[in-house]
Chain A
């Protein structure tokens, strides 16, 4: 069964610092997703990674995928308070449903 492990689960950062969130998964998959969730809200799609070596960047966030290592990373550059949220990685299974990681609750402090 597909398992998705995300770490860290909690991350407290100072503004301006960099950090990386990791997402490991147990079986091969075609697609890996990163989502942001604000309290009380649904998911906001950040990135879809489709192939080995894929790298996508949007603002201060950059996601990468290594399908051989079954690892994706979400790198945060020069964090700002507005990035405070919970970040989920999710792996799409063959039947298009998703297995989610446990989530990383990010707090960016001034």
Chain B
């Protein structure tokens, strides 16, 4: 079946640095991908919608200059956390919309970010 892969699965970075997380649709093309953030013991919150070839749409309260999203191809979206702070430590999960299977949404395995 369709698979969405995220990389890295775990990353530790120092405060003030930037870190990039990739989301790939492995066997389908995804014109739309979504980025969610999940803090420990909380639910998933949508951060932004990533559209191939255009600017991402950010949810209210999400800083677009801090969380840079690039969707340069039909199989890859990247989330870059710039000037990371400890409060950015979270589980980041992407999902991808597959039009091939009736607009089915597939979730990636998630990426744990720890900022020290």
- A interface residues, Cβ below 8 angstroms from B: 33, 35, 40-43, 45, 88, 90, 92, 95-103, 105
Contact = CB atoms under 8 A, between A and B. Distances in A.
B97 interface: yes
Given A92-B105, A95-B49, A96-B32, A42 B43 contact: no
A10 to B, nearest CB: 11
Contacts of A35: 107
A96 B105 contact: yes
Given A41-B110, A97-B34, A88 B44 contact: yes
A45 B93 CA distance: 14
B20 to A, nearest CB: 19
Interface of B: 32, 34, 41-46, 49, 93, 95, 97, 103, 105, 107-110, 112
Contacts of B44: 43, 88, 90, 98, 100
Contacts of A92: 105
A98 B34 CA distance: 9
13 contacts: A40-B112, A41-B109, A41-B110, A42-B107, A95-B49, A96-B103, A96-B105, A97-B34, A98-B105, A99-B46, A100-B45, A101-B43, A103-B42
